[in-house]
């Protein structure tokens, strides 16, 4: 019975008429996934693309910039407050409903905290900037908790793979704002104006929140400590057991470790190579974005054909090999065509790997405890981005860029080995999740 809950096989699309794929793609749920991705991704790219570029442009050292990754700690601990967002409505905004109320609360907070970053000077107020960035990360992580639950509740099981793939691509597209537009604007106007313009893009998410309806939820409001905090973890243990849980948690930490570290200091790396902020905004970011989007969409199609498990194997290999391209770039002269080529291949692997990884997380989570279980799994996935990335600046200054990227490729191997336990090749996997 336990296996039936999470291991249902998806028939080949060519022989199945149970799913109207045209109707599955062109509906309001998929449109909502687009806006969810845009609202969710933008704050993260502010922290991991725009802020490092700003700090480096103002003369902050690579070691200090690397340590700024620690402001992402809320992404790794969001499962602690996720149960309360699952059970209670926010103050003042509760009339919008549990999900929509928290969505609006966090989105308004993000608009003002992102804009507030530019009020301070990096050389004289680095610590203050770190605390404001921490606030951005906290509100962003909290928004992710409710948006993940909202997405899980509006998507039927048959649309999980496609919906999550569209969400991931919209997430990537949001990087055009802090990773491209904002960098170009930084060559034309002061940084404080850049941050307020960037923060204003949260209005996209706010508009979506005000338009959509509150989804039906299987989680009742209120409840004691056991119902709020303990029940989501007990449910997973009863459904899977301790050993599968530990294996899944280890996999979620390791699978994106090398990839996350390789791209942690991407913008400072491009600046150190001699590229201008405008070149980075126009060439590097677009060369990363569109292959990642194509990779994610391709990943969604491949998952339909071969399943999640085999996709994790195939895409993991591409992801690992693509990291080596950065080592080639670091050892070469600063040519824009080479920069675009290396980044395009790397982010093709990122798009493929992220699509399968996100679908895997959705499959593992129960609809009845969507916010808490999603938060736990994505928090584990965020650990490398927060703690391992904090050491990247010191590693680069000690070893140089080439050796650093070779190390990242080696660190991608353990995550591939974990697939032997969590996603065996012979078990094709599924796009359906636990009930």
Weakest mean pLDDT among 173-187, 227-241, 329-343, 386-400: 227-241
Residue bearing the bigger pLDDT, 116 or 383: 116
pLDDT tens column, 217-259: 655 555 555 555 566 677 777 777 778 778 888 888 888 888 8
In the chain, % of residues over pLDDT 90 = 20
- Ordered domains of the chain (ranges, CATH): 2-7+21-422 (1.20.1250.20)
b vs e for 358-390, b when ≥16 Cβ sit within 10 Å of the residue's Cβ? bbbbbbbbbbbbbbbbbbbbbbbbbbbbbebbb
Distance CA 339, CA 313 (A): 27
Contact by Cβ (8 Å): 52, 65: yes
Structural contact between residues 98 and 150, judged by C-beta atoms closer than 8 angstroms: no
Q: What is the pLDDT of residues 271-305, one digit of tens each?
A: 888 888 788 777 776 777 778 778 877 877 787 77
Distance CA 133, CA 121 (A): 13
Q: Which residues contact 68 (CB under 8 A, 6 or more apart)?
A: 47, 51, 52, 55, 130, 133
Q: What is the rounded CA–CA span in Å between residue 127 and residue 427?
A: 49
Residue-wise DSSP of 28-55: HHHHHHHHHHHHHHHHHHIIIIIHHHHH
- 350 Cβ neighbours under 8 A, 6+ residues apart: 259, 263, 288, 292, 295, 319, 322
Is-above-0.85 flag for pTM? no
How far from 128 is each of 56, 178, 193, CA to CA, in Å? 17, 21, 18
Please report which confidence band the pLDDT of residue 389 belongs to, taking 50, 70 and 90 as the band edges: low
Of 376 and 211, the one with more pLDDT: 211
Per-residue pLDDT of 127-184, as tens digits, reads: 999 999 999 999 999 999 899 888 878 777 667 667 777 887 788 889 889 988 998 8
Greater model confidence, 19 or 287: 287
């Amino acid at each position: 019975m336990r296996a039936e809950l999470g291991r249902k096989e998806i028939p080949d699309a060519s022989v199945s008429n149970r799913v109207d794929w045209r109707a599955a793609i062109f509906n309001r749920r998929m449109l909502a996934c687009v806006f969810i991705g845009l609202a969710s991704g933008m704050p993260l790219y502010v922290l991991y693309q725009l802020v490092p570029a700003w700090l480096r442009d103002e003369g902050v050292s690579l070691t200090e910039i690397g340590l700024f990754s620690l402001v992402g700690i809320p992404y790794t601990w969001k499962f602690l407050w996720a149960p309360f967002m699952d059970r209670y409505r926010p103050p003042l905004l509760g009339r919008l409903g549990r999900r929509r109320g928290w969505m609006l609360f966090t989105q308004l907070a993000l608009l003002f905290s992102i804009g507030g970053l530019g009020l301070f000077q990096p050389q004289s107020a680095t610590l203050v900037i770190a605390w404001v960035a921490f606030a951005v990360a906290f509100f962003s992580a909290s928004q992710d908790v409710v948006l993940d639950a909202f997405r899980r509740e509006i998507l039927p099981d048959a649309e999980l793979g496609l919906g999550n793939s569209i969400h991931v691509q919209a997430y990537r597209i949001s990087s055009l704002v802090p990773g491209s537009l904002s960098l170009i604007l930084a060559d034309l106007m002061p940084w404080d104006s850049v941050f307020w313009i960037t923060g204003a893009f949260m209005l996209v998410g706010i508009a979506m929140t005000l338009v959509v309806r509150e989804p039906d939820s299987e989680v009742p409001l209120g409840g004691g400590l056991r119902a709020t905090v303990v029940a989501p973890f007990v449910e997973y243990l009863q459904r899977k057991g301790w050993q599968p849980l530990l294996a899944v948690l280890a996999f979620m930490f390791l699978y994106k470790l090398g990839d996350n570290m390789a791209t942690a200091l991407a913008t400072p790396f491009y600046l150190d190579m001699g590229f201008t902020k405008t070149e980075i905004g126009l060439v590097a970011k677009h060369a990363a974005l569109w292959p990642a989007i194509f990779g994610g969409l391709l990943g969604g199609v491949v998952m339909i054909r071969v399943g999640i498990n085999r996709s994790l194997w195939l895409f993991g290999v591409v992801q690992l090999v693509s990291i080596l391209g950065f080592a080639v770039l670091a050892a070469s002269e600063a040519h824009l065509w080479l920069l675009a080529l290396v980044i395009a291949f790397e982010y093709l692997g990122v798009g493929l790997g992220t699509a399968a990884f996100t679908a895997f997380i959705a499959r593992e989570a129960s609809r009845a405890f969507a916010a808490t279980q999603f938060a736990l799994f994505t928090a584990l996935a965020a650990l490398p981005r927060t703690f391992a990335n904090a050491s990247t600046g010191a590693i680069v200054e000690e070893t140089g860029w080439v050796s650093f990227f070779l190390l990242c490729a080696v660190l991608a191997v353990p995550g591939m080995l974990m697939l032997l336990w969590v996603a065996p090749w012979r078990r094709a996997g599924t796009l359906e999740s636990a009930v």
